Chain A
Amino acid sequence: MPHLAVNDIHANYGALAVLHGIGFEVDRGEVVSLVGPSGSGKSTVLRALVGLTLVTGGSVEVDGTRIDYAAPRAVKAARDRMAIVFQQYNLFQNMNVLRNVTLAPTKVKGRKRAEVEAEAMELLKLVGMEHKAQAYPDELSGGQQQRVAIARALALKPEILLLDEVTSALDPELVNEVLDAIRRLAGEGMTMLLVSHEMSFVREVSSKVVFMDAGRVVEAGPPDAIFDAPSSERARDFFGKVLR
């Protein structure tokens, strides 16, 4: 049984249908990447998984249990198991780094502050940000903020980490520090679903790549097969433009 199974999901923004039946599976400890042109619905898939965009058809199963996105309690349960990191980091501007990381575990999960803070410092160390624990987001570079955002998501102890174009808003020289953090997580066996335009990185860390276009999965498979020998015309065209 796959850890996360996405079956034929549909989603709309108002009257506009953006996902026309997306399906893929993620096994425990696996890194799966969604790639494809802008507007293909990759980010929407992640948003739908955490209940920010309503799923209007199909099903999502975690460990075989279907998530009913119409029920607030089920959405909350889904958010307990999946944490998302956004392209624009979305840190809480009015709190320092440590508080950003500890807020949800203390206030949502009701855990003891001292214990959570010790854990938070470990996570900040993991992403190389422990020296900035007392800094505020507006005092940090984009890459630093994104690494804090990753630590903040991990503090919720998710089973699956969703990464939504986490390097797209960064200056080129800051990209690597974030990718290194993700690489380290992959090495530790974290299950991840990532949307990215960093093709060489995707190829390196992913066990499976899902190529999407216009709200549909065009093809999916191991990275080497998808990148080197795509079977569809659309994928050949896309990779022909981005891989060089």
Chain B
Amino acid sequence: MDYNFQFNVVWRNFDALLEGAWLTLQLGVFAFTCGCLIGLVGAACLSFAPRPVRWLVHAFVIFITNTPALIQIYFLYFGLPEFGIRWSNEACVLIGLTLNAGAYLTMILRAGFLSVRQTEMEAGETMGMSLPQRIRYIVVPHIAKSIYPALANFFIVILVMGTSVGAVIGVDELTGQAINLSTVNYRWLEYFTIVALMYVVLTFIASIGLALLGRWAFRVKARIF
């Protein structure tokens, strides 16, 4: 291979890549956090709501998890304007990713709802706790602890695979920035080598952050290394 790597091109525009990485992190954290809230409501509905509501939640989950995130975001970005709803490309990615994460997290969190010990729920009930209180004080800490690894893995999926879809509709997150920059001087290989490493660093930082959060907030004894 006689390709001549010229990384100095990348370093000259490294600030732009850092900005992209920052946006990627923001998109990932926002979509995951809001997705968790949607997932929590969805999973709670699947366990406690009357049948018509459960059907609606199932329909939402089936629809979202069986279509590609890219198509969903296309629909928001190119489809909604036909109905007079015009959102910025960043808003479309954010909303699309959030709904997507919400559907997957509904099913991930459902496992947590199903594994909660019914006896603890009964004890809470006889002590006068309302259903929202029992969810808040018994189910959520149980979920956080028992399926924390699954949640952390899913965050990484959103952070890396989810956010990069934004590049397709011109959002300047990390992948988008790399495409923008490399189309200027055709140093694709250099840019994407560096960007790949930046994703690794990003997920590494995120993993450590999640492990520390789990240890501090939920007594999860996750190993960082």
> Which residue numbers of A lie inside 8 Å of B, CB to CB?
50-52, 76, 79-80, 83-84, 86, 88, 90-95, 103-104, 107-109, 136, 152, 156
Contact = CB atoms under 8 A, between A and B. Distances in A.
Given A79-B128, A108-B128, A156-B128, A103 B123 contact: no
A92 B128 contact: no
Contacts of A156: 127-128
B119 A86 contact: yes
Given A107-B133, A107-B137, A108-B133, A93 B126 contact: no
A86 B141 contact: no
A136 B127 CA distance: 20
B120 interface: yes
A93 to B, nearest CB: 7
Nearest to A84: B126
B135 to A, nearest CB: 12
Contact of B142 (A80, A94, A108, A136): A94
The 5 residue pairs across chains A and B that have the minimum distance between CB atoms: A94-B141, A90-B123, A104-B127, A108-B128, A90-B119
Given A76-B128, A83-B127, A156-B128, A90 B137 contact: no
B86 interface: no
A92 B134 CA distance: 11
B143 to A, nearest CB: 10
A30 B200 CA distance: 68
B127 A93 contact: no
A92 B129 contact: no
A163 to B, nearest CB: 13
Contacts, number: 59
A88 B123 CA distance: 10
B123 A108 contact: no
B122 interface: yes
A84 B122 CA distance: 10
B120 A92 contact: yes
Contacts of B128: 76, 79-80, 104, 108-109, 156
Interface of B: 117, 119-120, 122-129, 133, 137-138, 141-142, 145, 218-219
A86 to B, nearest CB: 7
22 contacts: A50-B126, A52-B122, A52-B125, A79-B128, A83-B127, A84-B126, A86-B119, A86-B123, A90-B117, A90-B119, A90-B120, A91-B123, A92-B124, A92-B138, A93-B120, A95-B137, A103-B137, A104-B124, A104-B127, A107-B129, A109-B128, A152-B127
A170 B122 CA distance: 21
A104 B125 CA distance: 10
Contacts of A136: 219
A93 B129 CA distance: 16
Contacts of B137: 92, 95, 103, 107
A11 to B, nearest CB: 16
A222 B138 CA distance: 41
Nearest to B142: A94
Most buried by B among A92, A95, A108: A92
A86 B124 CA distance: 12
Given A90-B120, A93-B117, A79 B126 contact: yes
Contacts of A104: 124, 127-129
A79 B127 contact: yes
A52 B126 contact: yes
Contacts of A52: 122, 125-126
A86 B123 CA distance: 8
